[in-house]
């Protein structure tokens, strides 16, 4: 058990060819590795077969966060290139008279955000990065750990969402290596079909396997679907740097669970139905919102729940998830559900059988 709390115990070798660079042709065409926790029986099927695993009266809980175009490419005052990576969805301010000549208008709206800036030399507070004639940002202050507070300036008639859509890019994880960055395909496929709440800088990738047709089939079988929102933050990519994983500080992410959805979850639990969490983000949200008896409370706030081996799950029964990076906090969470050694053994088996890993890869269903 002590080994479960050392970072090196969560390492595993992964051949580069097992890292998915593009999604499957159809969402539900991904493969599905099924692990039955009690019996240790393992099955290899296709994701569309998830319908056979769900039973009438069960509940599928999905995360409806939407990835926004958080990656902005521009130029500094000096002319050098700069990349602005927004760490959260910008908060719109009141309409003001523009104080910068970088946006071609006198009446603009501003929004503030926390960001990372990538450039040859870090820009100083007060300097400006021009994205184009409609959009620029001013560096307000340094926040530490490479983060800065910025103010975005954009045309009032255009609106923030439209400005980001026109001039930003969907941020892809660093292990998806593309010479040309994200594409039009990524704007569609690196997004769940039920995404509706902009605010994430990474997709809740377990949900990428569900097509609208598959969700319809699931509903027709009598399986309910509830929605929660957890805005996946940049911390999901952050490496764990402490050898003792208990010393790692987990990232905070915004969570919203409505009373209606909380009531649905609690009713299904009371009736004996299984709670299927789609993704580790949904697990964090539900376990954060659940009390000691497993009753989910309506929630609107910041989740800092750190799930490690030894954690007692109060709300969820089953988990649908992708294959995660070595030595990541997500790997710790899944290990807490099914055991570290068994999970890594499943990963070795999946690698040997050619499963595709990470965001655009295949899925696991971990069942009681």
* pLDDT for res 184: 85
Mean pLDDT is lowest, of 26-40, 132-146, 248-262, for 132-146
Please, is 185 exposed, middle or buried when counting C-beta atoms within 10 Å of its C-beta (0-12, 13-18, 19+)?
exposed
* pLDDT for res 94: 60
* pLDDT for res 158: 76
Q: Which domains does the chain have, with CATH numbers?
A: 2-67+186-367 (3.40.1780.10), 71-169 (2.40.10)
Q: Can you tell me the distance from the alpha carbon of 314 to that of 287, in angstroms, rounded to the nearest whole number?
A: 6
* pLDDT for res 194: 99
Share of the chain above pLDDT 90, in %: 85
- The per-residue pLDDT for range 150-209, each reduced to its tens digit, is 999 998 777 889 999 999 999 999 999 887 778 888 999 999 999 999 999 999 999 999
- Residues 322-350 have a mean pLDDT of 98
* pLDDT for res 64: 99
**Phi first, then psi: what are they for 310, rounded to 5°?**
105, -15
Locus of tokens 């055991």: 339
- For the cut 70, the answer to whether the pLDDT of residue 106 exceeds it is no
Q: Does residue 163 contact residue 69 with C-beta atoms inside 8 Å? A: no
Q: Which of 187, 129, 136 is nearest to 158 (CA)?
A: 136
- The per-residue pLDDT for range 17-36, each reduced to its tens digit, is 999 999 999 999 999 999 99
* pLDDT for res 3: 85
- For the cut 80, the answer to whether the pLDDT of residue 270 exceeds it is yes
Q: Can you tell me the distance from the alpha carbon of 179 to that of 60, in angstroms, rounded to the nearest whole number?
A: 37
């Amino acid at each position: 058990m002590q080994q479960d709390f050392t970072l090196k115990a969560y390492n595993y070798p992964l051949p580069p060819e097992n890292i998915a660079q593009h999604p499957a042709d159809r969402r539900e065409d991904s493969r599905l590795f099924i692990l039955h926790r009690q019996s240790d029986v393992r099955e290899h099927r296709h994701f569309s077969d998830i319908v056979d695993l769900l039973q009438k009266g069960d509940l599928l809980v999905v995360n409806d966060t939407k990835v926004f175009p958080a990656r902005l490419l521009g130029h500094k005052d000096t002319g050098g290139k700069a990349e602005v990576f927004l760490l959260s969805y910008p908060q719109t301010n009141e309409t003001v008279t523009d104080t910068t000549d970088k946006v071609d208008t006198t009446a603009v709206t501003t929004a503030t955000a926390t960001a990372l800036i990538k450039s040859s030399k870090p820009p100083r507070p007060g300097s400006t990065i021009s994205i184009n004639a409609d959009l620029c940002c001013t560096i307000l202050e340094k926040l530490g750990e490479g983060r800065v507070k910025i103010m975005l300036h954009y045309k009032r008639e255009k609106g923030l969402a439209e400005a980001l859509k026109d001039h930003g890019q969907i941020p892809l994880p660093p292990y998806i290596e593309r010479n040309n960055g994200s594409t039009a395909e990524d704007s569609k496929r690196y997004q769940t079909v039920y995404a509706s709440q902009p605010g994430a800088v990474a997709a809740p990738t377990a949900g990428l396997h569900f097509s609208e047709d598959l969700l319809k089939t699931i509903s027709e079988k009598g399986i309910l679907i509830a929605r929660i929102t957890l805005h996946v933050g940049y911390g999901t990519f952050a490496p764990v740097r402490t050898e003792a994983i208990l010393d790692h500080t987990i990232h905070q992410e915004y969570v919203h669970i409505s009373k209606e959805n909380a009531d649905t979850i609690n009713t299904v639990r009371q009736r004996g139905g299984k709670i299927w969490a789609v993704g580790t983000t949904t697990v964090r949200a539900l376990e954060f919102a659940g009390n000691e008896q497993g009753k989910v409370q309506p929630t609107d706030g910041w989740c800092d729940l750190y799930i490690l081996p030894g954690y007692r799950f109060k709300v969820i029964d089953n988990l649908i998830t992708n294959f995660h990076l070595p030595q990541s906090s997500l790997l710790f969470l899944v290990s807490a559900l099914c055991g570290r050694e068994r999970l890594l053994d499943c990963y070795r088996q999946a690698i040997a059988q050619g499963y595709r890993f990470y965001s655009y890869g295949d899925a696991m269903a971990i069942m009681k």
